[in-house]
Amino acid sequence: MDIISTDRAPQALGPYSQAIRANGFIFCSGQIPIDPAAGAVVATTVEDQTRQAITNLRQVLEAVGSGLDKVVKTTVFISDMNDFAAVNGVYAEMFGTTKPARSCVQAARLPKDVKLEIEAIALA
């Protein structure tokens, strides 16, 4: 088991790793839309927050030679199910032809009061 860490994505907000590589898989912790350069959430719309969260996820995966095209499962947590269509639009754009298995649930509250968080499992 290897701990994955990159400065190209936001650092963990608590006692956990950005990702873990184990048995041919990469298990990515939830990514929220923190801009790693600013160290803060700068995106305000759900579309821009989705784009930043997936960009952060991609950076973690690419740090270990994987990528969005190797994601097999995601879980999307959104603060408002009314944003489902908008999140789907950006998600489809960024994942392209890759269509991993996915769950999407509404969460009562997310870290830093963001609009969404995305976690993933990918092939190493």
CA distances from 46 to 15, 85, 104, 116 (A): 27, 10, 15, 8
> Which pLDDT value is given to residue 86?
98
Fold of 2-123: 60s Ribosomal Protein L30; Chain: A; (3.30.1330)
- Rounded to an integer, what distance in angstroms lies between the CA atom of residue 58 and that of residue 35? 13
State which H helix or E strand residue 57 sits in: helix 46-62
For the chain, domain boundaries: 2-123
Q: What's the rounded Cα separation, in Å, for the pair 122 and 43?
A: 26
User: Which string of DSSP letters, residue by residue, matches 83-101?
Assistant: GHHHHHHHHHHHHTT---E
pLDDT tens, residue order, the chain (124 aa): 999 999 999 988 889 999 999 999 999 999 999 999 999 999 999 999 999 999 999 999 999 999 999 999 999 999 999 999 999 999 999 999 999 999 999 999 999 999 999 999 999 9
Query: How far is it, in rounded angstroms, from Cα 122 to Cα 69?
Result: 9
Burial (CB count <10 Å: 0-12, 13-18, 19+), residue 11: exposed
